[in-house]
Amino acid sequence: MILAHRIALDPTVEQSIALSRACGVARHTWNWALAQWNKKYEAGENVTANSLKLEWNRIKHAQFPWVSESPKDANQQPFANLNTAFQRFFKKKAKRPTWKRKGEHDSFYVSNDKFRVDGATVRLPVIGSVRMREERRFVGKITAATVSRTADRWFLAIQVETDIAHLEPTDKTIGIDLGLKTAVVCSDGQTCDAPKPLKANLKRLHRRSRQHSRKQRKSSNRKKSQRRLARLHARISNIRRDWTHKVTSKLIHENQVICMEDLNVKGMTANRKLARAISDVGWYEFRRQLEYKAEVYGRTVSVISRWLPSTKTCSNCGCKTDTISLSTRVYHCDHCGFEIDRDLNAAINIHTAGLAGINACGPEGSGSVRKSRTKPCRVEAGTRPRGHSRALTN
Protein backbone atom coordinates (compact mmCIF):
# COMPACT_ATOMS: atom_id res chain seq x y z
CA MET A 1 0.00 0.00 0.00
CA ILE A 2 1.04 3.59 -0.49
CA LEU A 3 1.97 5.55 2.60
CA ALA A 4 2.79 9.22 2.62
CA HIS A 5 5.77 10.14 4.70
CA ARG A 6 5.81 13.79 5.70
CA ILE A 7 9.17 15.31 6.56
CA ALA A 8 9.99 18.91 7.46
CA LEU A 9 12.43 20.67 5.13
CA ASP A 10 15.20 23.06 6.00
CA PRO A 11 15.56 25.23 2.89
CA THR A 12 17.88 28.18 2.56
CA VAL A 13 16.35 31.62 2.03
CA GLU A 14 16.85 31.39 -1.75
CA GLN A 15 15.39 27.90 -1.79
CA SER A 16 12.27 28.89 0.13
CA ILE A 17 11.73 31.71 -2.35
CA ALA A 18 12.01 29.17 -5.16
CA LEU A 19 9.60 26.85 -3.36
CA SER A 20 7.09 29.69 -2.96
CA ARG A 21 7.46 30.48 -6.64
CA ALA A 22 6.75 26.87 -7.60
CA CYS A 23 3.62 26.93 -5.43
CA GLY A 24 2.64 30.12 -7.24
CA VAL A 25 3.02 28.38 -10.60
CA ALA A 26 0.86 25.47 -9.42
CA ARG A 27 -1.78 27.88 -8.13
CA HIS A 28 -1.77 29.96 -11.31
CA THR A 29 -2.07 26.87 -13.49
CA TRP A 30 -4.97 25.54 -11.44
CA ASN A 31 -6.81 28.87 -11.62
CA TRP A 32 -6.17 29.17 -15.35
CA ALA A 33 -7.45 25.64 -15.96
CA LEU A 34 -10.49 26.18 -13.75
CA ALA A 35 -11.37 29.42 -15.57
CA GLN A 36 -11.07 27.68 -18.95
CA TRP A 37 -13.09 24.72 -17.73
CA ASN A 38 -15.91 26.96 -16.47
CA LYS A 39 -15.89 29.04 -19.64
CA LYS A 40 -16.07 26.05 -21.96
CA TYR A 41 -18.60 24.28 -19.79
CA GLU A 42 -20.93 27.27 -19.87
CA ALA A 43 -20.50 27.53 -23.64
CA GLY A 44 -21.70 23.93 -23.83
CA GLU A 45 -18.40 22.58 -25.10
CA ASN A 46 -17.06 19.18 -24.19
CA VAL A 47 -14.16 19.79 -21.84
CA THR A 48 -11.53 17.42 -20.49
CA ALA A 49 -8.45 18.05 -18.39
CA ASN A 50 -6.28 16.58 -21.14
CA SER A 51 -7.53 18.98 -23.79
CA LEU A 52 -6.96 21.90 -21.46
CA LYS A 53 -3.46 20.66 -20.75
CA LEU A 54 -2.66 20.51 -24.46
CA GLU A 55 -3.91 24.05 -24.89
CA TRP A 56 -1.91 25.21 -21.87
CA ASN A 57 1.26 23.62 -23.19
CA ARG A 58 0.77 25.45 -26.50
CA ILE A 59 0.40 28.89 -24.97
CA LYS A 60 2.34 28.80 -21.70
CA HIS A 61 5.78 29.76 -23.03
CA ALA A 62 4.42 32.74 -24.93
CA GLN A 63 1.98 33.99 -22.31
CA PHE A 64 3.57 32.86 -19.05
CA PRO A 65 7.29 32.47 -19.72
CA TRP A 66 8.07 32.51 -15.99
CA VAL A 67 6.58 29.03 -15.49
CA SER A 68 9.78 27.51 -16.85
CA GLU A 69 11.67 28.86 -13.82
CA SER A 70 9.93 26.27 -11.65
CA PRO A 71 9.80 22.45 -11.74
CA LYS A 72 7.75 21.25 -14.69
CA ASP A 73 5.24 19.25 -12.69
CA ALA A 74 4.16 22.41 -10.89
CA ASN A 75 2.42 23.48 -14.11
CA GLN A 76 1.35 19.98 -15.24
CA GLN A 77 -0.09 18.20 -12.21
CA PRO A 78 -2.85 20.77 -11.52
CA PHE A 79 -4.70 19.40 -14.58
CA ALA A 80 -4.84 15.92 -13.09
CA ASN A 81 -5.88 17.38 -9.73
CA LEU A 82 -8.58 19.49 -11.34
CA ASN A 83 -9.86 16.42 -13.17
CA THR A 84 -10.06 14.46 -9.91
CA ALA A 85 -11.79 17.40 -8.23
CA PHE A 86 -14.40 17.63 -11.00
CA GLN A 87 -14.98 13.88 -11.06
CA ARG A 88 -15.63 13.99 -7.32
CA PHE A 89 -17.96 16.93 -7.84
CA PHE A 90 -19.89 15.12 -10.58
CA LYS A 91 -20.29 12.10 -8.31
CA LYS A 92 -21.61 14.46 -5.61
CA LYS A 93 -18.75 13.52 -3.30
CA ALA A 94 -17.35 17.02 -3.11
CA LYS A 95 -18.18 20.63 -3.73
CA ARG A 96 -17.41 22.34 -7.00
CA PRO A 97 -13.68 23.15 -7.35
CA THR A 98 -12.87 26.70 -6.32
CA TRP A 99 -10.08 29.20 -6.89
CA LYS A 100 -6.82 28.72 -5.09
CA ARG A 101 -5.59 31.63 -3.07
CA LYS A 102 -2.10 32.62 -2.15
CA GLY A 103 -1.10 31.32 1.28
CA GLU A 104 -3.84 28.69 1.53
CA HIS A 105 -2.68 25.10 1.07
CA ASP A 106 0.35 26.16 -0.95
CA SER A 107 1.83 23.07 -2.55
CA PHE A 108 3.25 21.56 -5.72
CA TYR A 109 3.77 18.04 -6.97
CA VAL A 110 6.96 16.31 -8.14
CA SER A 111 6.82 12.95 -9.93
CA ASN A 112 9.16 10.17 -8.87
CA ASP A 113 11.52 10.36 -11.86
CA LYS A 114 12.33 14.01 -11.15
CA PHE A 115 13.63 13.94 -7.59
CA ARG A 116 15.97 11.84 -5.51
CA VAL A 117 16.15 11.26 -1.79
CA ASP A 118 19.62 10.63 -0.47
CA GLY A 119 19.87 10.27 3.30
CA ALA A 120 18.58 13.50 4.77
CA THR A 121 18.72 15.43 1.50
CA VAL A 122 16.24 15.70 -1.32
CA ARG A 123 17.28 16.81 -4.76
CA LEU A 124 14.41 18.71 -6.39
CA PRO A 125 14.39 19.84 -10.02
CA VAL A 126 15.40 23.49 -10.57
CA ILE A 127 15.51 24.13 -6.79
CA GLY A 128 18.45 21.83 -6.02
CA SER A 129 19.45 19.91 -2.90
CA VAL A 130 17.30 20.75 0.11
CA ARG A 131 18.05 19.53 3.61
CA MET A 132 15.44 17.41 5.35
CA ARG A 133 14.98 17.35 9.12
CA GLU A 134 15.14 13.54 9.21
CA GLU A 135 15.72 10.59 6.92
CA ARG A 136 12.74 8.70 5.60
CA ARG A 137 11.52 5.77 7.68
CA PHE A 138 9.54 3.75 5.15
CA VAL A 139 11.51 1.66 2.73
CA GLY A 140 10.06 0.83 -0.66
CA LYS A 141 9.51 2.33 -4.07
CA ILE A 142 8.94 6.08 -4.10
CA THR A 143 5.98 6.94 -6.32
CA ALA A 144 5.72 10.71 -5.98
CA ALA A 145 6.17 13.66 -3.66
CA THR A 146 4.37 16.84 -2.75
CA VAL A 147 6.06 19.91 -1.32
CA SER A 148 3.76 21.99 0.85
CA ARG A 149 3.79 24.84 3.31
CA THR A 150 2.12 24.93 6.71
CA ALA A 151 2.39 28.28 8.47
CA ASP A 152 5.98 29.24 7.65
CA ARG A 153 7.44 25.73 7.47
CA TRP A 154 8.01 23.59 4.42
CA PHE A 155 7.25 19.90 4.22
CA LEU A 156 7.96 17.12 1.79
CA ALA A 157 5.36 14.33 1.66
CA ILE A 158 6.94 11.33 -0.01
CA GLN A 159 4.58 8.64 -1.26
CA VAL A 160 6.18 5.26 -0.72
CA GLU A 161 4.84 1.94 -1.94
CA THR A 162 5.60 -0.25 1.01
CA ASP A 163 4.64 -3.54 2.50
CA ILE A 164 5.06 -3.40 6.23
CA ALA A 165 4.90 -6.79 7.91
CA HIS A 166 1.63 -7.40 9.70
CA LEU A 167 1.80 -7.52 13.49
CA GLU A 168 1.66 -10.81 15.41
CA PRO A 169 -2.02 -11.79 15.65
CA THR A 170 -3.57 -11.46 19.09
CA ASP A 171 -6.93 -12.61 20.43
CA LYS A 172 -7.63 -9.34 22.20
CA THR A 173 -10.58 -7.36 20.93
CA ILE A 174 -11.94 -4.05 22.10
CA GLY A 175 -14.89 -1.72 21.73
CA ILE A 176 -14.43 2.02 21.90
CA ASP A 177 -16.89 4.78 22.56
CA LEU A 178 -15.87 8.21 21.37
CA GLY A 179 -17.32 10.88 23.59
CA LEU A 180 -17.11 14.51 24.44
CA LYS A 181 -16.64 14.25 28.19
CA THR A 182 -13.93 11.62 27.92
CA ALA A 183 -12.56 11.36 24.41
CA VAL A 184 -12.11 7.58 24.29
CA VAL A 185 -13.69 5.02 26.61
CA CYS A 186 -12.71 1.38 26.04
CA SER A 187 -14.86 -1.64 26.80
CA ASP A 188 -12.15 -2.93 29.18
CA GLY A 189 -12.50 0.17 31.34
CA GLN A 190 -9.50 2.12 30.04
CA THR A 191 -10.13 5.76 29.30
CA CYS A 192 -8.15 8.36 27.48
CA ASP A 193 -8.69 12.08 27.46
CA ALA A 194 -7.92 14.32 24.55
CA PRO A 195 -5.54 17.18 25.21
CA LYS A 196 -8.24 19.51 23.86
CA PRO A 197 -5.61 21.84 22.46
CA LEU A 198 -8.09 24.09 20.77
CA LYS A 199 -9.97 24.81 23.97
CA ALA A 200 -6.79 25.61 25.82
CA ASN A 201 -5.58 27.87 23.08
CA LEU A 202 -8.94 29.29 22.13
CA LYS A 203 -8.57 32.47 24.15
CA ARG A 204 -5.20 33.10 22.62
CA LEU A 205 -6.55 32.30 19.16
CA HIS A 206 -9.44 34.72 19.59
CA ARG A 207 -7.14 37.44 20.81
CA ARG A 208 -4.75 36.96 17.92
CA SER A 209 -7.52 36.88 15.34
CA ARG A 210 -8.88 40.10 16.76
CA GLN A 211 -5.47 41.73 16.73
CA HIS A 212 -4.96 40.50 13.19
CA SER A 213 -8.25 41.92 11.93
CA ARG A 214 -7.27 45.37 13.17
CA LYS A 215 -4.05 45.53 11.21
CA GLN A 216 -4.02 47.72 8.16
CA ARG A 217 -4.44 45.83 4.91
CA LYS A 218 -1.28 45.08 2.96
CA SER A 219 0.87 46.44 5.79
CA SER A 220 3.92 44.56 6.97
CA ASN A 221 2.42 44.36 10.44
CA ARG A 222 -0.53 42.49 8.99
CA LYS A 223 1.83 40.05 7.32
CA LYS A 224 3.62 39.52 10.60
CA SER A 225 0.43 38.90 12.53
CA GLN A 226 -0.79 36.58 9.74
CA ARG A 227 2.31 34.47 10.28
CA ARG A 228 1.79 34.39 14.05
CA LEU A 229 -1.81 33.33 13.60
CA ALA A 230 -0.89 30.61 11.12
CA ARG A 231 1.78 29.29 13.47
CA LEU A 232 -0.74 29.05 16.30
CA HIS A 233 -3.19 27.17 14.09
CA ALA A 234 -0.41 24.79 13.04
CA ARG A 235 0.62 24.25 16.64
CA ILE A 236 -2.92 23.36 17.68
CA SER A 237 -3.33 20.89 14.86
CA ASN A 238 0.08 19.34 15.62
CA ILE A 239 -0.86 18.66 19.23
CA ARG A 240 -4.14 17.13 18.12
CA ARG A 241 -2.56 14.96 15.43
CA ASP A 242 0.18 13.76 17.78
CA TRP A 243 -2.39 12.66 20.34
CA THR A 244 -4.54 10.89 17.73
CA HIS A 245 -1.52 9.03 16.35
CA LYS A 246 -0.49 7.84 19.81
CA VAL A 247 -3.94 6.58 20.79
CA THR A 248 -4.76 4.89 17.47
CA SER A 249 -1.33 3.22 17.36
CA LYS A 250 -1.79 1.89 20.88
CA LEU A 251 -5.24 0.51 20.04
CA ILE A 252 -3.98 -1.12 16.84
CA HIS A 253 -0.91 -2.65 18.50
CA GLU A 254 -2.82 -4.14 21.42
CA ASN A 255 -5.95 -5.43 19.71
CA GLN A 256 -6.86 -7.66 16.79
CA VAL A 257 -10.33 -6.20 16.37
CA ILE A 258 -11.38 -2.68 17.24
CA CYS A 259 -15.09 -2.01 17.26
CA MET A 260 -16.33 1.52 16.91
CA GLU A 261 -19.49 3.41 16.13
CA ASP A 262 -20.10 4.97 12.75
CA LEU A 263 -20.43 8.52 13.96
CA ASN A 264 -22.22 11.01 11.82
CA VAL A 265 -19.53 13.61 12.30
CA LYS A 266 -20.87 15.92 9.62
CA GLY A 267 -24.38 15.83 11.08
CA MET A 268 -23.12 16.33 14.59
CA THR A 269 -20.86 19.26 13.79
CA ALA A 270 -23.95 20.90 12.30
CA ASN A 271 -25.13 21.17 15.91
CA ARG A 272 -23.25 24.31 16.88
CA LYS A 273 -23.15 23.48 20.56
CA LEU A 274 -21.36 20.23 19.90
CA ALA A 275 -19.35 21.38 16.89
CA ARG A 276 -16.33 22.84 18.64
CA ALA A 277 -15.95 19.98 21.10
CA ILE A 278 -16.20 17.40 18.31
CA SER A 279 -13.79 18.99 15.89
CA ASP A 280 -11.48 19.66 18.81
CA VAL A 281 -11.12 15.96 19.49
CA GLY A 282 -10.94 15.25 15.75
CA TRP A 283 -13.03 12.13 15.40
CA TYR A 284 -12.97 12.07 11.65
CA GLU A 285 -9.18 11.99 11.68
CA PHE A 286 -9.26 9.46 14.51
CA ARG A 287 -11.26 7.02 12.42
CA ARG A 288 -9.17 7.65 9.30
CA GLN A 289 -5.97 6.83 11.18
CA LEU A 290 -7.47 3.75 12.79
CA GLU A 291 -8.60 2.41 9.41
CA TYR A 292 -5.35 2.92 7.55
CA LYS A 293 -3.28 1.55 10.41
CA ALA A 294 -5.53 -1.53 10.53
CA GLU A 295 -4.77 -2.08 6.86
CA VAL A 296 -1.03 -1.61 7.35
CA TYR A 297 -0.70 -3.84 10.40
CA GLY A 298 -3.28 -6.52 9.61
CA ARG A 299 -5.95 -5.63 12.12
CA THR A 300 -9.70 -5.28 11.74
CA VAL A 301 -11.83 -2.25 12.41
CA SER A 302 -15.47 -3.15 12.81
CA VAL A 303 -17.75 -0.19 12.35
CA ILE A 304 -21.24 -0.61 13.69
CA SER A 305 -24.29 1.29 12.56
CA ARG A 306 -24.91 4.60 14.23
CA TRP A 307 -28.52 3.57 14.73
CA LEU A 308 -27.59 0.90 17.27
CA PRO A 309 -28.90 2.16 20.62
CA SER A 310 -25.52 1.70 22.31
CA THR A 311 -26.20 4.15 25.12
CA LYS A 312 -29.75 2.97 25.81
CA THR A 313 -29.09 -0.76 26.03
CA CYS A 314 -28.07 -2.50 29.25
CA SER A 315 -24.74 -4.23 28.69
CA ASN A 316 -25.58 -6.72 31.43
CA CYS A 317 -29.00 -8.05 30.41
CA GLY A 318 -29.63 -6.47 27.01
CA CYS A 319 -32.74 -4.56 28.03
CA LYS A 320 -33.45 -1.21 26.46
CA THR A 321 -34.52 1.97 28.21
CA ASP A 322 -36.51 4.52 26.27
CA THR A 323 -34.45 7.62 26.82
CA ILE A 324 -31.29 8.66 28.56
CA SER A 325 -30.40 12.34 28.69
CA LEU A 326 -26.92 13.63 27.90
CA SER A 327 -26.46 14.76 31.49
CA THR A 328 -27.09 11.29 32.97
CA ARG A 329 -23.57 9.98 33.47
CA VAL A 330 -24.46 6.66 35.14
CA TYR A 331 -26.57 4.08 33.38
CA HIS A 332 -29.10 2.36 35.60
CA CYS A 333 -31.01 -0.69 34.38
CA ASP A 334 -34.56 -0.94 35.71
CA HIS A 335 -34.75 -4.57 34.70
CA CYS A 336 -31.73 -6.12 36.42
CA GLY A 337 -30.61 -3.25 38.65
CA PHE A 338 -27.20 -3.01 36.97
CA GLU A 339 -25.36 0.28 37.34
CA ILE A 340 -22.45 1.31 35.17
CA ASP A 341 -20.76 4.41 33.78
CA ARG A 342 -22.71 5.60 30.76
CA ASP A 343 -19.79 5.64 28.29
CA LEU A 344 -18.37 2.34 29.50
CA ASN A 345 -21.80 0.77 29.00
CA ALA A 346 -21.86 2.10 25.43
CA ALA A 347 -18.32 0.83 24.75
CA ILE A 348 -19.27 -2.67 25.90
CA ASN A 349 -22.36 -2.65 23.67
CA ILE A 350 -20.29 -1.46 20.72
CA HIS A 351 -17.80 -4.24 21.40
CA THR A 352 -20.53 -6.90 21.47
CA ALA A 353 -22.24 -5.58 18.34
CA GLY A 354 -18.95 -5.20 16.47
CA LEU A 355 -17.88 -8.77 17.16
CA ALA A 356 -21.36 -10.09 16.32
CA GLY A 357 -21.18 -8.23 13.02
CA ILE A 358 -17.87 -9.88 12.13
CA ASN A 359 -19.01 -13.37 13.11
CA ALA A 360 -22.31 -13.00 11.28
CA CYS A 361 -20.61 -11.74 8.18
CA GLY A 362 -18.28 -14.68 7.69
CA PRO A 363 -14.75 -15.53 8.69
CA GLU A 364 -12.61 -12.84 10.14
CA GLY A 365 -10.16 -11.37 7.71
CA SER A 366 -7.08 -9.48 8.66
CA GLY A 367 -6.32 -5.94 7.77
CA SER A 368 -9.82 -5.01 6.86
CA VAL A 369 -12.42 -2.49 7.73
CA ARG A 370 -15.91 -3.81 8.12
CA LYS A 371 -19.15 -2.08 8.44
CA SER A 372 -21.49 -4.38 10.24
CA ARG A 373 -25.13 -3.54 10.27
CA THR A 374 -27.65 -5.36 12.36
CA LYS A 375 -30.07 -5.61 9.45
CA PRO A 376 -29.36 -6.40 6.74
CA CYS A 377 -25.93 -7.84 7.31
CA ARG A 378 -23.53 -6.42 4.80
CA VAL A 379 -19.77 -6.27 4.76
CA GLU A 380 -17.92 -3.47 3.15
CA ALA A 381 -14.28 -4.34 3.13
CA GLY A 382 -11.59 -1.84 2.33
CA THR A 383 -11.08 1.73 3.41
CA ARG A 384 -12.12 4.85 1.69
CA PRO A 385 -10.12 5.54 -1.46
CA ARG A 386 -7.01 7.54 -0.97
CA GLY A 387 -6.45 10.63 -3.02
CA HIS A 388 -3.30 9.63 -4.78
CA SER A 389 -3.92 11.20 -8.10
CA ARG A 390 -1.73 10.06 -10.91
CA ALA A 391 -0.32 12.36 -13.52
CA LEU A 392 -2.31 12.43 -16.72
CA THR A 393 -0.56 11.07 -19.74
CA ASN A 394 0.94 13.70 -21.96
Q: Which residues bind Zn ion (CB under 5 A)?
A: 314, 316-317, 319, 333, 335-336, 338
Over its C-alpha atoms, the chain yields an Rg (Å, rounded) of 24
CB 312, min distance to Zn ion, A: 11
CB 337, min distance to Zn ion, A: 7
Strands of 153-161's sheet in order across: 107-111, 141-150, 153-161, 2-10, 128-132, 121-124, 116-118
For Zn ion, which is the closer residue by CB, 262 or 341?
Answer: 341
Identify whether 261 is a catalytic site residue.
Answer: yes
Quote the CA–CA distance of 65 and 370 in Å, as a whole number.
Answer: 51
For Zn ion, which is the closer residue by CB, 45 or 339?
Answer: 339
CB 326, min distance to Zn ion, A: 21
End-to-end CA distance of the chain: 26
CB 321, min distance to Zn ion, A: 9
Say which of 177, 280, 291, 295 is annotated catalytic. 177
> Residues 170, 298: contact at Cβ < 8 Å?
no
Task: Give the Å distances, CA to CA, from 266 to 167, 284, 286, 314.
Answer: 33, 9, 14, 28
For the stretch 217-226, contacts whose Cβ atoms lie closer than 8 Å and that sit 24 or more positions apart, written own/partner, are: 226/103
Identify whether 254 is a catalytic site residue.
Answer: no
CB 353, min distance to Zn ion, A: 16
For Zn ion, which is the closer residue by CB, 142 or 348?
Answer: 348
Say which of 73, 106, 261, 295 is annotated catalytic. 261
Quote the CA–CA distance of 247 and 174 in Å, as a whole number.
Answer: 13
For Zn ion, which is the closer residue by CB, 270 or 336?
Answer: 336
Identify whether 42 is a catalytic site residue.
Answer: no
Say which of 73, 280, 291, 343 is annotated catalytic. 343
Backbone angles phi, psi at 392, to 5 degrees: -70, 150
Enumerate the active-site residues.
177, 261, 343
